[in-house]
Amino acid sequence: MKIKHIIFLFLAAILSNSCAEIQSTKTLRLAHSVDTQHPVHNGMIVLGESLERISEGKLKVQIYPNGQLGGERESIELLQIGSLDIAKVSAGVLENFIPEYKVFSIPYLFRDKDHMHDIYDGKVGKGILSQGNKFNLEGLTFYDAGSRSFYTKSTPINSPDDIKDMKIRVMKSNMAIAMINDLGGAPTPISYGELYTALQQGVVSGAENNIPSYFTSKHYEVCKFLSLDEHTSVPDVLVIGTETLKRLSDEEKKWLNQAVEESKVAQRKLWEESEKECLEKAVESGVQVFYPDKNHFKKLQ
């Protein structure tokens, strides 16, 4: 009887310690819509690893990739009501909630990559990240999403005239819609996760995105013409809901911000490597790459 009592106490102690460990670990849910081979996803892997290391396991991230929890607009709405903690969304989609993000959809806004990163990391970028409070959102950082270019099924785009009357998939962004309208095309907003099928079925004739997204989404299988006009450089944004922020202690916020910074640095390096690799693989797969004169497109500025 005494032995049974000791065993009972031993098991109770184990369960008590296990429960305490579970209670001391907080897990943040992070959603995004890109493939797990995408450099942005890999940047978020770094975020999770850094956060677990910095917090000594007290704060973790669980990632839901490939639009498992819905598209980017749905993710933002989940953040606002506290049903999701963090999301990676395009500034082009975020502009529908926070108007200040529209500036990033202006064509040929940046002189070069260094200028772009200076804006993201400087006073302007930090100011824009802070504009979401009144919408129950808080920007954490900008991830590099490169430059967006056109890719099409049957006709390469070498000048704005080639876009006339062509159905081009765009993000659900007023700025992106206006840009295609200005070029004489037919802008067609379609969720990213539905685009491959839309291209296959001829719902649209082409789309516009960065090179890694074009390749990792396998859109190159349908659209063999890639025209690198690089008309916009719309960043991805790591956003946290203010409901989640309220539940984090000052120390937890410090851990998160440090991990976010580490992931940003890593993601930009991963992005640069991925752009080169994805372009090479696309060409090997039969994609024809065109380099149109950007001056023809700069009338969009």
pLDDT digits (tens, 9 = 90+) for 151-209: 999 999 999 999 999 999 999 999 999 999 999 999 999 999 899 999 999 999 999 99
Is residue 201 domain-shared with residue 249, that is, in the same domain? no
Across the chain, what does the average pLDDT equal?
A: 92
Indicate the number of domains in the chain: 2
CATH code (residue 228)? 3.40.190.170
Is residue 66 domain-shared with residue 184, that is, in the same domain? no
Is residue 17 domain-shared with residue 89, that is, in the same domain? yes
Is residue 120 domain-shared with residue 192, that is, in the same domain? no
Question: Would you state the pLDDT for residue 298?
Answer: 84
CA distances from 27 to 2, 23, 150, 238, 275 (A): 40, 10, 39, 17, 32
The Cα–Cα gap between 170 and 282 comes to: 21
Is residue 113 domain-shared with residue 221, that is, in the same domain? no
Q: Which range marks the domain in which residue 289 is found?
A: 148-233+280-300
Is residue 293 domain-shared with residue 157, that is, in the same domain? yes
Overall average pLDDT of the 107-112 stretch: 96
Is residue 119 domain-shared with residue 262, that is, in the same domain? yes
Q: Say what angle helices 39-54 and 250-284 make with each other, to 10 degrees.
A: 150
The Cα–Cα gap between 94 and 117 comes to: 19
* 191, 35, 235, 271: CA torsion to nearest 10: -150
Is residue 252 domain-shared with residue 113, that is, in the same domain? yes
**Cβ-contact 26, 58 below 8 angstroms:** yes
Is residue 199 domain-shared with residue 229, that is, in the same domain? yes
Residue 24: pLDDT band with limits 50, 70, 90:
confident
State pTM to two decimals: 0.88
Is residue 179 domain-shared with residue 290, that is, in the same domain? yes
Question: Would you state the pLDDT for residue 299?
Answer: 73
Residue 211: pLDDT band with limits 50, 70, 90:
very high
91 backbone dihedrals φ, ψ, rounded to 5° = -60, -25
Is residue 88 domain-shared with residue 220, that is, in the same domain? no
Is residue 229 domain-shared with residue 197, that is, in the same domain? yes
Establish how many alpha carbons lie within 13 A of residue 64's alpha carbon, considering only the half-sphere containing its beta carbon: 17
